Structure 1
Amino acid sequence: MGQPLKIGIVGTGAISGQYLSAFERLDAVRLTAVADLDEARAKAVADAQGVRALGVDELLADPDVDLVLNLTIPAAHAEIALKAIAHGKHVYGEKPLASTPAEALPILEAARAAGVRVGCAPDTVLGTGVQTARKAIDDGLIGTPVAATAMMLTPGHERWHPNPDFYYVPGGGPLLDMGPYYVTALVTLLGPVASVVGAASRSRDTRVIGSGPRAGETVPVEVDTHVTGVLRHESGALSTLVMSFDATATRASNIEVHGHDGSLIVPDPNHFDGDVELHPLGGEWRTLPASAGYRNAGRGYGLADLAAAPPGTPFRASGELAYHVLDVMTSLLDAAASGEAVPVASTCPRPEPVPLQDAPAAA
């Protein structure tokens, strides 16, 4: 109790820098080792952080690692998580929890059997943006929530990403890439999802890389690149979701929530903060002050939230939540393929709200 959780990172690509930056503000966690298939990249990160660079299997077995932060590509999430759990380690991973619910469920089962914890990004919903919106809903400022919209429309990541191939193969696409931010926010705001309907399309069979050493090279598109659907929450609220790599731009709000007595504009769930705007019935739009969430948060705050929760108590960016979000997204793809409504087999508790505070402290 009161001691930081010792962290070993597997995967030292670009996203690791955001975690390392946040770790500087978090006394609930302490980095002890890193590993990557690219040994030179792992050594560079290790030298910069003053920690050890290990082989992947060596790190998973290391006694000075309490929790494995899994920042590998999505296709490797399940394999690394299961190996870490087999060594008695807690696991926290980047989204999604795994490529499919069938791959993700054994992670949760193995963790329960081993008595370890599984957490998963996104933790952006723990910042002041989504949490202030949640508090407004919980405080009754919009009355009974009846509907929400969530929109993410871009022309495709190949315009800026030097190696965008994985965005366009099974496990990729706009829904599984960016959907976790939006669906996690909707579950945080309105509760778990009971069923979905949807439709999907793709505008072309190849994409052209726009930057880096492979600029001009084409990559095949094997997944739908525009997905739209309606999520029926267990509460009865309906959320309309649009995720696209086929659109140029939009002026729509990232997320809006509408109730009997008012409407909310919720900031981008890919960020931790941002303005929440309220339009009460008969009133005008006004910006709400930040009233809930971790202030000045960054990636890794969900991991610190896990570390700050005493043993046996819930934490917010949980594997159960990530599993339900993955189940919602894959059910939506199934609904789009079949043209029929699909029940979502899983559920999860609505995560506990975050009171307005600074970084979580060690338990």
Structure 2
Amino acid sequence: MGDALKDQSPLRIGVVGAGQISGAYLRTFATLPNVSVTAVADLDGARAAAVAATVPGARATVAEKLYAAEDVDLVLNLTIPAAHAEVAQAAIAAGRHVYGEKPLAATTEEARAVLAAADAAGVRVGCAPDTVLGTGVQSARAVLDADEIGTPVAATAFMVAPGHELWHPAPEFYYRPGGGPLFDMGPYYLTALVTLLGPVRRVVGMASTSRDVRTIGSGPRAGTEFPVEVATHVTGVLEHESGVLSTLVMSFDVWAGTLPRIEVYGTGGSLSVPDPNGFDGPVRLFRAQAGHWEDVPVRGGYAGAERGYGVADLARGLATNSPHRADGQLAYHVLETMESLLLASQRGQAVLVASHCERPAAVPVHARPETE
């Protein structure tokens, strides 16, 4: 299939997985002219039918039929992380492009197999998060690309919270392998760091688990205890290929904090980057010569972007025969970086990150994925 779709618009999407997150994607797709949902599948047929009914022209079906459907060009994989690789492989085997929720797969071994299959089939792979395509991270990227803080030398990235069990009625999966603060929130922060500063060469890290048992704090099962199987506080240092050192802290063990989400420090100033779990937010710049912080106006990114813009950007890439930004190689590199951090914490020594990805192209200011 490959780039045979570059003259077709819109890109026809089959959604596999009709859970809560599907609603966010579908609301976004309704506003974008270069994508169109044609089919929805879920293990729960009634749920697939209910979701398909909200999209004009879409139908409910089963996954096997969706993969083979003539009116499906790309499979949007919104299943649970443990099923990401299986669904992606089935879609690729049918000759379909794939875009999935994070992570690309449960392990780098599974992710490598997905990318190899896609390469052999000549189809594209995309993966969330696509929050980095919004005006927040992209305006910060424009500041860096214009050398307005000089040469970057270091960065910090902090995500601290007391734990999702306080608000989530069924939080156990956050505390099983593949979960924890690193694998849950890390993709947002690491994808932003790579977008801003380029790929990672090696890492050092340490991790801890403060409690073996946690208690559900809300919903019908409030008061129920469950075991913790993963590290709940991970800290590390990433050495980017550029030489920049990024300090990362991901924690479900902190009740409150005033640490910045992401900051980048250069030879001529500093840059404050908004929460990478969102698409926009304030960007602030400190120039050494000026001696004070100033707000940065929007200088890049898809304005008004929401979840699903990564799919539209992939459609743009197909239409223009150019790379898409939230691609499989970037997602694989982020996944390997996270695995390497945990491995470094176990070994007590630095771990090399074997993979390399290109720093994604910047999104120009006022760009739209259907016209860029």
Partner of 1:199, secondary structure, is strand
How much has 1:362 moved relative to structure 2? 6.8
The equivalent of 1:327 in structure 2 is 336
| Residue number among 336, 356, 363 corresponding to 1:347 in the alignment | 356
| Residue number among 258, 261, 270 corresponding to 2:268 in the alignment | 261
Call closer, same or farther: CA 1:352–1:358 in 2, change over 3 Å. closer
| Residue number among 64, 71, 74 corresponding to 1:57 in the alignment | 64
| Residue number among 96, 100, 104 corresponding to 1:93 in the alignment | 100
The equivalent of 1:230 in structure 2 is 237
Instruction: Give the gaps of 5 or more residues in structure 2.
Output: 1-6
- Work out whether residues 307 and 362 of structure 1, in 8 Å CA contact, stay in contact via their aligned partners in 2: no
Call closer, same or farther: CA 1:5–1:84 in 2, change over 3 Å. same
- Work out whether residues 301 and 359 of structure 1, in 8 Å CA contact, stay in contact via their aligned partners in 2: no
Q: Match of 1:241, as an amino acid? A: L
| Residue number among 24, 28, 37 corresponding to 1:22 in the alignment | 28
The equivalent of 1:290 in structure 2 is 298
Most deviating of 157-166 and 264-273: 157-166
Count of aligned positions = 363
Q: Tell me how large the CA RMSD over aligned residues is.
A: 1.2
The equivalent of 1:44 in structure 2 is 50
Q: Distance in 1 between matches of 2:30 and 2:259?
A: 35
| Residue number among 214, 219, 226 corresponding to 1:207 in the alignment | 214
Q: Match of 1:223, as an amino acid? A: V
Q: Distance in 2 between matches of 1:119 and 1:44?
A: 26
Q: Match of 1:121, as an amino acid? A: A
How much has 1:311 moved relative to structure 2? 6.3
The equivalent of 1:114 in structure 2 is 121
How much has 1:72 moved relative to structure 2? 0.7
- Pairs within 5 Å for 1:162-311: 162-282=169-289, 283-309=291-317, 310=319
Q: Distance in 2 between matches of 1:149 and 1:183?
A: 11
Q: Distance in 1 between matches of 2:35 and 2:302?
A: 16
How much has 1:158 moved relative to structure 2? 1.2
Call closer, same or farther: CA 1:177–1:162 in 2, change over 3 Å. same
Q: Distance in 2 between matches of 1:2 and 1:77?
A: 27
How much has 1:213 moved relative to structure 2? 2.5
Q: Distance in 2 between matches of 1:331 and 1:353?
A: 27
- Work out whether residues 29 and 362 of structure 1, in 8 Å CA contact, stay in contact via their aligned partners in 2: no
Q: Match of 1:14, as an amino acid? A: Q
Partner of 2:342, secondary structure, is helix
Q: Distance in 1 between matches of 2:257 and 2:180?
A: 19
TM-score normalised per structure 2? 0.95
How much has 1:351 moved relative to structure 2? 0.3
Percent identity over the alignment?
64
Listed one character per residue, the Cα deviations across residues 306-345 of structure 1 (whole Å, up to 9, x for unaligned) are 0011465211000000000001110001001111000001
How much has 1:2 moved relative to structure 2? 4.7
Tell me if 1:102 matches 2:96.
Answer: no
- Work out whether residues 296 and 358 of structure 1, in 8 Å CA contact, stay in contact via their aligned partners in 2: no
Tell me if 1:360 matches 2:369.
Answer: yes
Q: Match of 1:327, as an amino acid? A: E
How much has 1:161 moved relative to structure 2? 1.4
Listed one character per residue, the Cα deviations across residues 63-91 of structure 1 (whole Å, up to 9, x for unaligned) are 21110100111111001000110011100
Q: Distance in 1 between matches of 2:320 and 2:85?
A: 24
Partner of 1:48, secondary structure, is coil
Call closer, same or farther: CA 1:62–1:2 in 2, change over 3 Å. closer
TM-score normalised per structure 1? 0.98
Q: Distance in 1 between matches of 2:24 and 2:277?
A: 13
How much has 1:357 moved relative to structure 2? 2.2
- Work out whether residues 162 and 213 of structure 1, in 8 Å CA contact, stay in contact via their aligned partners in 2: yes
Tell me if 1:149 matches 2:122.
Answer: no
